[in-house]
């Protein structure tokens, strides 16, 4: 009995990209227009996958250049601009044969994709480290110096000592490891992109927890950035313990 198109559709939808060529081969002689459309859609998925593989390979240019020195570590931070919450830094050493796809500047990814990639990075990385600088520390030494502290902490949390650091734009003081600052590095290096993702997911999860403690401020939605609703809540209720006093002087 001829298989229903709806059943073939379910097969294609459930298939992983690497399984699609086999299913295309199996149903390529089926002349029904619905099946032809499913095959065409599957071929587009395969083409998109190949395009993503090529993009990811292009993002390994710095890793290939410096892997001869040993372990290459990507460094990035999130949370320099918010009015509340910590700045968080990520440090990631990926394996030399890293096959993780869709790595990119965390700001270019949806929350769902970041969460998915966070788990993949944590599972496949040689080592990951996270560093924090509290709002109090930011107020005490300024945001740039606090960011450097968070980055140094992230490096110190690695299980493996890196031989070279690929940094998103900055050179971290008081670090003896060789550093390569890369402008917009989170969009040019898989290691920095991975670091930006774990830092972003870590900070977003933390701000979501703070939302439960201070529900009036909407931290789960704006993550402490200066959204209008956040500023209005700040003026109405005053600062919380996680607000950066040096950042909110113009609002209270």
DSSP string, 6-51: HHHHHHHHHS-GGGHHHHHHHHTT---HHHHHHHHHHHHHHHHHHH
Angstrom distance (rounded) from CA 80 to CA 235: 22
Mean pLDDT of 55-79: 96
What pLDDT is stored for residue 244 in this prediction? Answer: 98
Least confident residue range of 38-52, 64-78, 130-144: 38-52
The pair of three-digit structure tokens given for residue 238, joined into one six-digit string: 């005053």
Indicate the pLDDT class of residue 8, thresholds 50, 70 and 90.
confident
Domains of the chain: 5-58 (no CATH), 61-237 (3.30.420.10)
What the block records as the tokens of 144 is 């740039």
pLDDT of residue 213: 98
Which is nearest to 228 in space by CA: 214, 239, 217, 238? 217
Containing 53, the helix (H) or strand (E) segment is: helix 33-58
Conformation bin of residue 79: beta by default, left when phi > 0, alpha when psi is -120 to 50? left
pLDDT, position 81: 96
DSSP states along 183-245: TTGGGT-HHHHHHHHHHHHHHHHHHHHHHHHSGGG-HHHHTTS--HHHHHHHHHH---TTB-T
Residue 1 has pLDDT above 70, yes or no: no
Judged against a pLDDT cut of 90, whether residue 97 lies above it is answered with no
Give tens-digit pLDDT for 173-203.
Answer: 999 999 999 999 999 999 999 999 999 999 9
Average pLDDT over residues 50-78: 95
63: nearest Cα among 97, 39, 37, 108: 97
Q: What is the pTM of this model?
A: 0.89
For the stretch 138-170, pLDDT in tens is 999 999 999 999 999 999 999 999 999 999 999
Residue by residue, what is the 3-state secondary structure of 57-82?
Answer: HHCCHHHHHHHHHCCEEEEEEECCCC
- The C-alpha atoms of residue 41 and residue 212 are separated, in whole angstroms, by 43
């Amino acid at each position: 009995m001829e298989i229903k198109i709806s059943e073939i559709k379910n097969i294609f939808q459930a298939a992983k990209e690497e399984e699609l060529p086999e299913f295309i081969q199996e149903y390529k002689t089926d002349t029904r227009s619905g099946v032809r459309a499913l095959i065409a859609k599957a071929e587009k998925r395969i083409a998109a996958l190949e395009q993503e593989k090529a993009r990811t390979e292009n993002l390994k240019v710095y890793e290939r250049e410096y892997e001869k020195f040993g372990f290459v570590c990507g460094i990035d931070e999130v949370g320099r601009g918010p009015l509340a919450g910590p700045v968080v830094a990520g440090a990631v050493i990926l394996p030399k044969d890293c096959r993780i796809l869709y790595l990119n500047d965390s700001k270019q990814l949806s929350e769902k994709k970041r969460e998915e990639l966070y788990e993949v990075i944590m599972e496949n990385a040689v080592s990951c480290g996270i560093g924090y600088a509290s709002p109090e520390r930011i107020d005490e030494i300024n945001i740039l110096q606090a960011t450097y502290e968070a980055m140094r902490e992230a490096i110190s949390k690695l299980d493996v000592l890196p031989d070279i650091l690929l940094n998103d734009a900055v050179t971290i003081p008081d670090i003896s490891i060789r550093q390569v600052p890369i402008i917009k590095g989170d969009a040019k290096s898989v290691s920095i992109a991975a670091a930006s993702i774990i830092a972003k997911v870590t900070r977003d999860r933390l701000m979501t927890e703070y939302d439960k403690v201070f529900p009036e401020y909407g931290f789960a939605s704006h993550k402490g950035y200066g959204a209008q609703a956040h500023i209005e809540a700040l003026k109405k209720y005053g600062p919380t313990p996680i607000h950066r006093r040096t950042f909110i002087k113009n609002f209270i």
